[in-house]
Amino acid sequence: MFLFPIISQASWEFDNITNKKRVDEGSNKKSLKSSGYWNLEFKIHIDNNWSETKSTYEWCSGSGTWSDPYIIENVIVNGGNSGSPILIENSKVYFRIKNCTFYNSGSGYYPLLNEGGIKMVNVTKGTIINNTAFDNRVGMVLDNSENNTLSGNTPNNNNGEGILLYRSNNNLVWGNTVNNNNGAGIRLYRSNNNTISGNTVNNNNGAGIYLYIRSNNNLVWGNIVNNNNEEGIRLYLSDNNILSGNTANNNNGAGIYLYQYNDNNNISENIANNNIRYGILLEESNNNLVWGNTANNNKRSGMYLHHSDNNTLSGNTANYNSDRGIFLHYGNNNTISGNIAINNYYGINLIFSNYNDIIGNKLFDNNICYSKDETSRENTFKSNLCVKNEPSEADWIISGVIGIIITSIILIGLSVLFWQFKRKVK
């Protein structure tokens, strides 16, 4: 009957002795402070005990209020390849971690046990600023944490992601440099209403920025996302996000890729140039607005809709792409309006795509202005301007075809008035 209380009391006494020993050890490590930095030989673990940490260690100050947050600064922690160099749990007070270096965490397992240079679990009101994290499983981890700010940090050369938000909402991630990580630069997993802004996310082995599985209502704005081994920005099963003003160039995949089941997103005023595949690619993604983007000099198409319906592509520029300016493949009920496509092989190309409105586009100096195969029906091509395009050999006829409505077309220069099929339709 009394065994559990005895064991519990013994365990408490042992932990107390251990904690006292660690406190004493920490107090005796003043000699490790040099050049304004504390080089700790133990990991930092705060579990709703900021006041105890402050009273024990000189490198922690403050009182946890908005005007006087707890501050940990100028600390270097080696994780010893086990656990996270700094782990903060169950914290609801204001705190700030700045000018610290955290490295050599344990590996953990994605996503629940991921160890990070900095790991925060069930935390609010934290500001992580101007820190460095390298050689960790993940540079920085927010797990079930809200209303935190990550700013000016450098999580580079980590074994997984640079920054990972897991089930974490209403956080601000801005002005960080997130390069050369073995996974994605910044990944959100089931994380909503976050702002990802002004970050430089280059040369990562995965996507630069990845919104993964039900990461909804996020703002991804003004980031530089170049030279990543996969896509610049990738969404999977994520809705109602805004991707605006980002630069996604020279990535090995697409500049911006909506991969399966991404609906009602706003993709606006981004630059997606010189990517190995596509500038902007939507796959099995519906009801998205893609407007005011630039997708030039990509190895395949500037903009590609694959099995994607009810999307609007408006006011975009898709020039000098090796294949198509704008390509619809199994895309239905889309609106393609007011775009400019210059010097592509095809200006606009439709295959197995029906009931689309192609309206008011400017298609200049393409080998073929507009092309659709005989499997594409009931598309409207209206008020478009084709200038100095070569005639298509496979796409247009005057009569005998069900499936294209042509009004107000202007053809100038080397073009002819209408195109003819190689094979006549009777």
| Every domain of the chain and the residues it spans | 77-230
pLDDT class of 388 with cuts at 50, 70, 90: confident
| Kind of pairing between the strands at 149-151 and 163-166 | unpaired
Tokens of 405: 């409505």
- For 191-311, strand residue ranges (E) read 195-197, 209-212, 219-221, 233-236, 242-244, 256-259, 266-268, 280-283, 289-291, 303-306
Assess whether pLDDT exceeds 90 at residue 408.
Answer: no
89-111: buried (b, 16+ CB within 10 Å) or exposed (e) per residue? bebebbbbbbbbbbbbbbebebb
- 5 or 397: which carries more pLDDT confidence? 5
pLDDT class of 26 with cuts at 50, 70, 90: very low
Q: CA-to-CA distance for 225 and 317, rounded, in angstroms?
A: 19
Cis-peptide into 5, omega within 30 deg = no
State the burial class of residue 356 (Cβ atoms within 10 Å of its Cβ: 0-12, 13-18, 19+): buried
Tokens of 425: 């339709």
Predicted pLDDT of residue 100: 98
Predicted pLDDT of residue 281: 99
Predicted pLDDT of residue 33: 64
pLDDT class of 2 with cuts at 50, 70, 90: very low
- For 352-398, strand residue ranges (E) read 357-359, 362-364, 368-372, 379-382, 385-387
The rounded mean pLDDT for the chain is 87
pLDDT one-digit tens code per residue, 73-124: 999 999 999 999 999 999 999 999 999 999 999 886 655 568 999 999 999 9
Tokens of 292: 């005011």
Q: CA-to-CA distance for 176 and 150, rounded, in angstroms?
A: 8
232-245: buried (b, 16+ CB within 10 Å) or exposed (e) per residue? bbbbbbbbebbbbb
Helix (H, G, I), strand (E, B) or coil at 160: coil
Assess whether pLDDT exceeds 80 at residue 358.
Answer: yes
Between 33-37, 57-61, 325-329, the lowest mean confidence (pLDDT) is in 33-37
Assess whether pLDDT exceeds 60 at residue 379.
Answer: yes
pLDDT class of 418 with cuts at 50, 70, 90: very low
Predicted pLDDT of residue 94: 99
Assess whether pLDDT exceeds 80 at residue 284.
Answer: yes
pLDDT class of 157 with cuts at 50, 70, 90: very high
Assess whether pLDDT exceeds 60 at residue 291.
Answer: yes
Nearest to 219 by CA among 202, 255, 188, 243: 243
pLDDT class of 36 with cuts at 50, 70, 90: confident
CATH number listed for the domain at residues 77-230: 2.160.20.10
pTM for this entry = 0.87
Tokens of 241: 């996000």
pLDDT class of 34 with cuts at 50, 70, 90: low
Nearest to 324 by CA among 292, 360, 378, 361: 361
Predicted pLDDT of residue 106: 87
Assess whether pLDDT exceeds 70 at residue 1.
Answer: no
Q: CA-to-CA distance for 233 and 42, rounded, in angstroms?
A: 37
